Amino acid sequence: MDFKLTSKPEDWQAIRKSFEESPSTEYRVLRNGICFTVVHQSEDFERTLIYLDNHQTFVSEVDLQEELEPIRIEPEDKLEREFGRLNKSDVRLFVRFGGDGYNLGIRVPRRWWDKMKTSCPKPMEEHADHPTGQVDLVLATISYREFDLYWEPVQWSSTFYDKTAKQLRSRRDEQRTRFDWKTIEHDSDLGSELGIDWPESIEHKYFTVEHRAI
């Protein structure tokens, strides 16, 4: 609603209902989210192997775009329809590498955004894709520091757990605050009782992210 892709709360109820009517095996990013696994990453970041769980395929970098079906944007004028653009414009969710971390946001038509931006919150960044007439609006960044604890120490020692791991968590928490992420606390007692290995969970105004080691 902030970005005028829906106009009222009832719109979201209609979207949820559309998911109930589509097969559970049919991927919908608004229902299923985006899930990927970093299988391997070299220390110099030059070689990375990533498995896209939703599409069951491997890629070498995080540069993902998914249509936010059934959300669409109507053609803006008669000229667009005359040139055969009878279909509504796709709105996409993207996740990709950025300077400070993974950037999350939406990809929308540039002409539409130019008309709507004065009535919308200001995104963290705007990146125009002139050849396609689209613009990427960065709405959140997950710092790379979020995942530092997954690096394996060269040698196992109590120093790593007593000192280094504490420093890594402190640096991670500083970045969560910097980029407006809040930590979601899980019930550790309940997890122990039920044998649940809770993931790390963080929440932003527009996104919820969970991650864990495998």
Q: What is the pLDDT of residues 137-157, one digit of tens each?
A: 999 999 999 999 888 766 666
Query: How far is the C-alpha of 50 from the C-alpha of 66, rounded, in Å?
Result: 17
Domain-wise residue ranges, the chain = 145-211
Torsion of CA 54, 30, 60, 145, to 10 degrees: -120
pLDDT, one tens digit per residue, over 10-20 is 888 888 888 88
* Rounded mean pLDDT, 89-104: 92
Grade residue 84 by pLDDT with cuts at 50, 70 and 90.
Answer: very low
* Phi, psi (rounded to 5 degrees) for 86: -80, -25
* The pLDDT of residue 105 is above 70: yes
pLDDT, one tens digit per residue, over 163-204 is 888 899 999 999 999 999 999 998 877 767 777 788 999 999
pLDDT, one tens digit per residue, over 24-80 is 888 999 999 999 999 998 877 788 999 999 899 999 999 999 999 888 887 765 545
* Rounded mean pLDDT, 76-98: 68
What is the 3-class SS of the chain, one letter each residue? CCCCCCCCHHHHHHHHHHHHHCCCCCCCHHHHCCCEEEEEECCCCCCEEEEECCCCEEECCCEEEEEEEEEEECCCCHHHHHCCCCCCEEEEEEEEECCCEEEEEEEEEHHHHHHHHHHCCCCCEEEEECCCCEEEEEEEEEEHHHHHHHCCCCCCCHHHHHHHHHHHHHHHHHHHHHCCCEECCCCHHHHHHHCCCCCEEEECCCCEEEECCC
* The pLDDT of residue 83 is above 70: no
pTM of the predicted model as reported, rounded to 2 decimal places: 0.84
Query: How far is the C-alpha of 77 from the C-alpha of 109, rounded, in Å?
Result: 13
* Rounded mean pLDDT, 81-110: 81
